[in-house]
Amino acid sequence: MDELQDSPPRRSREQLEEWVQEFKDQGHIVAGTLRVAQQEDADRQDTGLVIMSLRNAKASIYMQPRGYDDPVWEATLTGRPEDLTLSIHDIASLAAELVIAGNLCSFLQWKSLEWDRQSGSHG
């Protein structure tokens, strides 16, 4: 049972790539880069990890489910070793990127809940 606690819900990299593409196809504009990285759980099964590299700050946001059988997603902003000084325009641009990241994380959580509701039809 301890193994399950270390294991996020199994959303494959391929599945997350489809969801990220669906998000982009809806017209969301991502200024930086968005990708799904390989990630394995405790059982070495592919779970995927969504990473958004910000354009207006040297930082990334990675998104994933909180834990096994938990449909709630969380986003982590990578740490910065130094202060970040920005112009007013750059602050607004960074804020817009953070809004998109929040929207994407909400979208992924919604897709996960939808996927879970249909779990009886998944192999």
Predicted confidence at residue 84, as pLDDT, reads: 85
Task: Give the angle subtended at the CA of 50 by the CAs of 49 and 55, to the nearest 5°.
Answer: 140
pTM greater than 0.85 (yes/no): no
Q: Strand, helix or coil at 23?
A: helix
pLDDT 10s per residue in the chain (123 long)?
455 555 445 678 888 999 999 999 999 999 999 999 877 655 555 567 899 999 988 889 999 888 766 778 999 998 777 888 889 999 999 999 999 999 999 999 999 888 877 765 544
Predicted confidence at residue 47, as pLDDT, reads: 66
Residue 46 near residue 6 (C-beta atoms within 8 A): no
DSSP track, 63-121: EEEEETTEEEEEEEEPP-SS-----HHHHHHHHHHHHHHHHHHHHHHHHHHHHHHTGGG
Task: Give the angle subtended at the CA of 43 by the CAs of 104 and 78, to the nearest 5°.
Answer: 35
Residue 64 near residue 8 (C-beta atoms within 8 A): yes
Predicted confidence at residue 122, as pLDDT, reads: 47
Predicted confidence at residue 45, as pLDDT, reads: 56
